[in-house]
Amino acid sequence: MISTLLQLAALFGLLSVLAVGGGAGVIPDMQRAAVDVHHWMSAPEFLDMFAISRAAPGPGSLIVLLVGQRAAGPAGAAVAVIAMFIPSSLLAWVAARFWHGAGEASWRRTVERGLAPIAVGLTIASGLALIRGTESGWAAYAVTGAATLLLAVTDLHPFALLIAGAAVVLVFG
């Protein structure tokens, strides 16, 4: 129990400071750790948790609450949430305090430009890893393809597509 809590704290504390470009980028590493390394759950269970955390409002990174709960109960959920959000929030707080003093320094704009493609790549990687690791059947692939296209080119509310995706896989999956 204690060792599982320590594993959760170490895993999410590390992912917290590695999650450049948002929480979605560390989903593949989270999945590998939770499923393949620590065997807290199966790959389909992880996708279910991903779906619940995406269907709920708020930050998608709250998936860590479900992973922690599955691994070690309520204490695990608390440890996972604290480990995932406190380190990065402290960094954000420090950065916010110094932001206005930094002005439009040229090094800052260079760093911004360098990080932007990494963030884009990681966001796409998280989708690719989830397709590769958890999906099967033409209905699921079709839903992912259609949702990608519609959300990329239209202003449809994402929740409408979650409902439509559930209906399609329920009927045809």
Rounded Cα distance between 169 and 166, Å, is 5
Q: Does the footprint of another protein cover residue 37 (CB under 8 A)?
A: no
Is residue 42 a contact residue for another protein (CB under 8 A)? no
Q: With contact defined as beta carbons under 8 Å apart, do 54 and 162 qualify?
A: yes
**Comparison of 32 and 38: residue with beta carbon closer to another protein:** 32
Q: Exposed, middle or buried by CB within 10 Å (0-12, 13-18, 19+), for 129?
A: middle
Which letter, b or e, does each residue of 32-44 get, where b requires 16 or more Cβ atoms within 10 Å of its Cβ? ebbbeeeebbeee
* In the complex, least distance from residue 100 CB atom to another protein, rounded to whole angstroms: 8
Buried b (16+ CB within 10 A) or exposed e, 61-76: bbbbbbbbbbbbeebb
147 contacts another protein (rule: CB under 8 A):
yes
73 binds another protein (CB under 8 A): no
Binders of another protein among 88-117, rule CB under 8 A? 88-89, 91-93, 95-97, 99, 106, 110-117
Q: Which residues, at least 6 apart from 128, have a Cβ–Cβ distance to it below 8 Å? A: none
123 makes contact with another protein (CB under 8 A): yes
Does residue 23 interact with another protein by CB under 8 A? yes
60 is a contact residue toward another protein (CB under 8 A):
yes
| Interface with another protein, residue 38, by CB under 8 A | no
Cβ atoms of residues 72 and 5 within 8 Å: yes
Q: Does 76 bind another protein (CB under 8 A)?
A: no
CB of 38 to another protein, least distance (A): 15
Considering only 5, 8, 11, 24, the residue that binds another protein (CB under 8 A) is 24
CB 72 to another protein: min, Å: 14
- CB neighbours of residue 109 within 10 Å: 10
Which of 10, 61, 79, 105 is the binder for another protein (CB under 8 A)? 61
